[in-house]
């Protein structure tokens, strides 16, 4: 229907033959642009997944579930011109828990010259101030590290008000300690319900495995995109979450100390 309307408009303005030629030309460029968009994704056999190649800074995130990691092999891995350049490491969870591999992962990631970041898994049923202090006790950040991250992916039956106010208290407490604005990691549904319109001032790291585009998120605040959870990396057992930095490369400093 849209093509028919467009054709009629062109014919009325330019005549039948010129109109037909212009329509063919427009169709050609539309198809080519769609194919170009598809070519942004490239299957990388070594990683076992497709990577969005229009972005140049790729990384992963890990936790105790990845067991012991050989960080030298992680850093040395290169496939189809892609090297991993950053890693986010789980540090804490709730009010008291610390990831059993955090200290070693944190130390070895730096030795491997990967830009590193630490995240806290947030539980809305736990005291947000105690959760913030759990992270602060566990994580020492250095210049060049990523800002702190709160991993928000469960609601545990809590009210919208409880969740939003709790997250805000965690973020403000951590920001005051590190003198850096933290980043929020979440998925598309939770972003729309709790973050958008309430915590828009914070940098965003979104998990969205079905996205063909990222138009649903604030382009001024979206820095990281977790696009796949099924990658493979030398030196790590099992599947790994893959992320990419979606801003212009000079904006990387916005989310680093």
How does pLDDT run across 188-213, given as a tens digit for each residue?
999 999 999 999 999 999 999 988 78
Structure tokens at 141: 């950040």
| Secondary structure (3-state) at 98 | strand
Q: Look at residue 40 in the predicted model and tell me its pLDDT.
A: 81
**Average pLDDT over every residue of 74-89:** 96
Same domain for 79 and 23: no
Beta strands in the chain (DSSP E): 41-44, 49-52, 57-62, 78-79, 82-93, 97-98, 115-121, 149-151, 183-187, 204-207, 222-231, 240-245
pLDDT of residue 254 exceeding 90, the answer is: yes
109 near 81, Cβ under 8 Å?
A: no
Q: What angle, rounded to 10 degrees, do the helices at 2-14 and 16-39 form?
A: 140
User: 10 Å Cβ neighbour count for 155?
Assistant: 16
Same domain for 33 and 47: no
99 is catalytic: no
61 is catalytic: yes
| Active-site position among 61, 99, 145, 151 | 61
Same domain for 90 and 56: yes
Structure tokens at 178: 């590190």
Same domain for 69 and 29: no
What mean pLDDT value characterizes the chain?
90
Same domain for 125 and 26: no
Residue 26: give the domain boundaries. 2-37
Same domain for 205 and 176: yes
Provide, rounded to the nearest whole percent, the portion of the chain with pLDDT above 70: 85
CA distance 114 to 72: 10
Same domain for 32 and 47: no
Same domain for 31 and 47: no
Nearest residue to 235 via CA among 64, 74, 105, 106: 74
Same domain for 223 and 193: yes
CA distance 48 to 58: 14
Which of 22-26, 42-46, 110-114 shows the lowest mean pLDDT across its residues? Answer: 22-26
Same domain for 96 and 18: no
Q: Look at residue 30 in the predicted model and tell me its pLDDT.
A: 39
pLDDT band for position 218 (cuts 50, 70, 90) = very high
| Active-site position among 67, 140, 153, 176 | 153
Q: Look at residue 33 in the predicted model and tell me its pLDDT.
A: 39
Same domain for 137 and 160: yes
**pLDDT tens-digit readout, 156-183:** 999 999 999 999 999 999 999 999 999 9
pLDDT band for position 71 (cuts 50, 70, 90) = very high
Return the CATH number at 132.
3.20.20.80
């Amino acid at each position: 229907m849209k093509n028919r309307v467009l054709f009629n408009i062109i014919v009325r303005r330019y005549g039948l033959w010129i109109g037909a030629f212009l329509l063919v030309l427009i169709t050609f460029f539309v198809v080519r642009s769609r194919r170009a968009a598809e070519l942004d994704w490239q299957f990388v056999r070594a990683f076992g997944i497709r990577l969005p190649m229009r972005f140049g800074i790729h990384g992963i995130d890990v936790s105790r579930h990845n067991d012991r990691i050989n960080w030298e092999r992680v850093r040395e891995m290169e496939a189809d011109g892609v090297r991993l350049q950053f890693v986010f490491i789980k540090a804490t969870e709730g009010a008291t828990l610390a990831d059993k591999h955090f200290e070693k992962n944190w130390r070895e990631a730096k030795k491997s010259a990967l830009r590193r970041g630490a995240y806290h898994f947030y539980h809305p049923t736990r005291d947000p101030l105690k959760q913030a202090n759990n992270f602060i006790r566990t994580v020492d950040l250095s210049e060049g590290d990523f800002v702190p991250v709160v991993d928000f992916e469960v609601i545990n039956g809590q009210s919208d008000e409880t969740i939003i106010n709790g997250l805000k208290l965690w973020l403000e407490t951590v920001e005051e300690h590190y003198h850096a604005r933290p980043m929020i990691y979440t998925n598309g549904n939770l972003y729309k319900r709790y973050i958008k319109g309430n915590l828009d001032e914070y940098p965003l790291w979104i998990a969205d495995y079905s996205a063909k585009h990222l138009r649903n998120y604030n382009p001024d605040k979206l820095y990281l995109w977790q696009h796949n959870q099924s990658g493979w990396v030398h030196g790590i057992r099992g599947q790994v979450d893959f992320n990419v930095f979606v801003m212009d490369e000079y904006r990387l400093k916005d989310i680093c100390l």
